[in-house]
Structure 1
Amino acid sequence: MQKLTRIITLSLALLMISGCSYFGVYKRDLPQGNLVTEAMVEQLRPGMSRQQVVDLMGSPLLEAPFDARQWDYVYRLDEAYGGVEQRRVTLTFQGERLAGIEREGNLSSDIQLPEDQGAGPRVEGTSDTPIEPIENVTPDRP
């Protein structure tokens, strides 16, 4: 009976330990928010209308719910095997015109974004070259 209890205990212990092993987890970069670059911010000028700002920067990520004078453009890149980079540009309006620009983070460094490879996994046996359409061909008839 003791031998059976030891075997069961050892088996359970090995089973529990095997679940705690680390084989490696795939991670990927996680970009979030509005990508803000130095070139975009340099084009902003006090006196621009809200629509001109939207045309240049896109829609803001955050609009202050109780104060419509402030727009925040936030970008955060959580690198898979590295650190976190965060950029923030806060725009303040007086009426419908841009009045103030505040920057936070290093806007001058380039961020390499992965190329869009489409949704879902790549199907085995396919290539990246586009398929050319077949021209209208009429079959030869005798």
Structure 2
Amino acid sequence: MSLSSPFVRPSLAIAVAAALSGCQYLPSLPTSTDRFLGVVTPYKVEVVQGNVITSEQAAVVKPGMNRAQVRDVLGSPLLTDAFHVDRWDYVFTIRRQGAEPQARRVVVLFEGDALKSIDTGGDLPTEREFVASIDTFKTSRNAPPLELTPEQLKALPAPARPALVEAEPIGPVRTYPPLEPTTP
């Protein structure tokens, strides 16, 4: 069939008109809800960018540390600038469905290779506070404790020590003359 057929053009016009008439309803939806047509909740992609820096990590970083030590504690910075080589910016943002969006910025300044200062921009959350803030289940969990009690430590079996086995030399075995002359 071609577009010149007497049935194709009217059918196409009706389909386009029906599709466009549905668009008139969409702008009148309330924007304060996350529901589509009042029934369906669309999936929102969880977006996490940057480095999570907790108060425990920031407490470890001390003036005088070199760049490698700071990188070991805080991770690689999200932003480094060729024009400001003595400044590292750690930016963190998270948007998670069911949790409040979060944004933090930590600025680390160096003098040469030594850490000069760290600006956290306010109080950073502890690791537990951060996990609680992004926990969307909000139910009590019966998770086991992360540390063993002294009684549990005593009940653990002693680690087995492997027996030392003389290894056969690999390759040819060479003998060398003594380094000092022998006296009779």
Q: Is the structural similarity TM-score above 0.5?
A: yes
- Where do 5+ consecutive residues of structure 1 fail to align? 1-6, 115-142
The aligned amino acid for 1:98 is L
Aligned to 1:43: 60
Aligned CA RMSD, in angstroms, stands at: 3.0
Change in 2 beyond 3 A, CA 1:17/1:80: farther
Shift in CA distance, 16/46, structure 1 to aligned 2, threshold 3 Å = same
Q: Which has the higher strand share?
A: 1
Contact 2:93 2:102 in 1 (8 A): yes
- Compare CA radii of gyration and give the structure with the larger one: 2
TM-score (norm 1): 0.63
CA distance in 1, matches of 2:12, 2:70: 69
Matched length: 110
**Alignment gaps of 5+ in structure 2:** 1-10, 27-35, 137-184
Identity %: 31
1:82–1:105 distance in 2 versus 1, CA, 3 Å: farther
TM-score, with normalisation over the residues of structure 2? 0.50
* C-alpha separation in 2, matches of 1:39 and 1:92: 19
Which structure has the higher relative contact order (CA within 8 Å, separation 6+)? 1
Name the aligned partner's letter for residue 84 of structure 1.
Answer: P
Superposition deviation, residue 58 in structure 1 = 1.1
Over 4 Å off, 4+ runs: 7-12
